[in-house]
Chains A and B, each alone.
Chain A
């Protein structure tokens, strides 16, 4: 694919790896925020090529951090006979307190996987006598798609459609991680596609406050290596600035039209991140203008409350405090086949990624 394949070139990757090694004089700990970046790092074996760089896998997988409460609300709504519950594929195996969406489907719920929220809107138009709900999760990257969909639903009067929203935001998560007393992170690779939408202006204040380099990074192997290279150069010279290493897809102002839509459709809210806890003003819910399309109100689940599992240490993993295999449940009670926490479900989740790709390394200990 054009503009993708070129950024996987093994020869250029070699050059970047050599440059990074030449520049590195001591061990550094860098957190890549985005789950897609984690996936790429592990899938291509990038961290194996850089033994002096510790890549800490951050909480950048919306599947992993979607609050347990929202999952339970989703399961409750999906179980109702009137409802066609539409979701991205990622969410289907995420465990709620007792079950997941696959189980709800097996019990008779109409659960459907879609590629885009607009597909759910089409389903709503094609099924006027059913209630169609779309599970609107994700970071800032996915929010514009969900926003436009509910905006169209309102504009076109597709009233049997509603959105169950649980968006999470990156900058508050970065701050929360740096505020943690046991934080080991020395620099961040910022999530490239989040910045495609939001631009980069939220990050320089974080660089300043926490004295950490933040480099906006893409997803292909060369993008990741370049992000690491620029980060190492900053760390080695004691700089802590915002840099954009993904300029082909990220502009400083982001996407202006999308940001305007987001302001209209969503309102900032406190959000409990699964496994981490409450981070103030770290999420989006539907704004007052769109309350009529808010599935939480339409299905009266707004007051549901949930307790998280005490076995699951995904929170500590997400903050980079422990590695997945240091959790007592890893590989035993908790496997991709039978996940306890969401980090074991998503292929980007730190635990699942570890399980799949690190078995080799760990088994040689």
Chain B
């Protein structure tokens, strides 16, 4: 279900009492109904499914998520016991634990 795609609101207009907008999907522009996000503003990103905006895209959250992916594994390497990490990756018990 659910081919829903993010796009940027370019303009708002009223069509027979229905809140509509033109949304830009990277160059492709399409008419989208904004009735479910009535306080949406021009310039904001929304997630669109079959001609309806279903949610505002949380840009901060998107950036944060990507940053988390970038740092995956990095923090672990900085703060974990190096032996434990290497042992886990090799599928062995932590040699340090075995010794102590």
Contact = CB atoms under 8 A, between A and B. Distances in A.
Interface of A: 1-4, 6-7, 9, 12, 15-16, 18-19, 22, 34-36, 60-62, 88, 115-119, 138-139, 141-142, 144-145, 148, 152, 155-156, 191-194, 196-197, 219, 222, 226, 247-251, 255, 257-258, 261
Interface residues of B, number: 39
Contacts of A192: 2
Given A12-B70, A191-B1, A257-B37, A249 B89 contact: no
Interface in B1-23: 1-8, 16-18
B88 interface: yes
B69 interface: yes
A9 B69 CA distance: 10
A257 B38 contact: yes
Interface of B: 1-8, 16-18, 25-26, 33, 35-38, 45, 47, 49-52, 54-55, 57-59, 61-62, 65-66, 69-70, 72-73, 88-89
B15 to A, nearest CB: 10
A78 B12 CA distance: 35
A3 B45 contact: yes
Contact residues of A: prevailing secondary structure: helix
A156 B16 contact: yes
Contact of B1 (A2, A19, A61, A249): A61
Contact of A2 (B3, B18, B45, B65): B45
Contact of B52 (A2, A60, A144): A144
A222 B54 contact: no
B17 A155 contact: yes
B62 to A, nearest CB: 4
A258 B50 CA distance: 14
B35 A141 contact: no
A261 B72 CA distance: 40
A61 B37 CA distance: 26
Given A2-B26, A141-B54, A255-B55, A36 B47 contact: no
Nearest to B65: A248
A70 to B, nearest CB: 16
Given A3-B57, A193-B54, A196-B54, A36 B36 contact: no
